[in-house]
Structures are given as C-alpha cells and as structure tokens.
Amino acid sequence: MTKDSLRHDPLLIAEEWIGEGRDVAIATVVETWGSAPRPVGSHLVIDRDGNFEGSVSGGCVEGAVITEALDVLDSRQPKMLEFGVADETAWRVGLSCGGRIRVYVERLG
C-alpha cells in the first residue's frame, strides 16, 4: 500500500474518527451475486454528521446505506441490507449491471 492509499483506507479513517470522539458506523459488503461494483470486504464508514469515506456500491444504493447507518448509530442495532436490480434498470440506480449485494452495517466503539 502506498502512503496515499493508507490515508484513504476506510478502516484507518474509522479508527481516527473514533479517536476524535465521533460516533461511527461501518458498512461492509458481505456477499455479492452477479455483477457488483465493489467486492466482498469493501467498506464505507459513516459518522453521525453524515460524513463518509470508502464505498460499498455507488449511486442511490450508497445513499441508502448511509441513511441506514445513521439509524444504526441511533438504535445501536446492526442491520443486514440487501440490494438487487435487473440488468435493464441497473444504470438508473447506480449499479454497473444486474446483480445483488448484501451489506452489513454496525456501530463501532
């Protein structure tokens, strides 16, 4: 890893934000079927103010994950999210083509 890529690593950013006293949630791609923009293990970290780093998908899927992460921060209850789309509507929702992803969202700290 380069110095620049370490600076943008969502896990390191989460650790930094927690050290600053922020409430932080992390979303992790745990399963994919068909085509998916991000591989299993991809992360998105979100703080209570809606700041985020990393990526789990793209388009409106990522926006939905951020919204759910804010709920997880409030409720302290993790969530398993699943998103799927047919090939013909994939581009409209920000996916490269048809497929499904499963994303686990949890509060850190």
| Confidence check: pLDDT of 7 > 80 | no
Q: Which residues of 47-68 are buried (b: 16+ CB within 10 A; e: fewer)?
A: beeeebbbbbbebebbeebbeb
The answer to whether residue 91 scores a pLDDT higher than 60 is: no
> Per-domain residue ranges for the chain?
3-108
In the chain, the percentage of residues whose pLDDT exceeds 70 is 81
Beta carbons of 95 and 85 less than 8 angstroms apart: yes
Is pLDDT of 44 > 80?
yes
pLDDT above 50: residue 5: no
User: 45: which 2 tokens?
Assistant: 């970290």
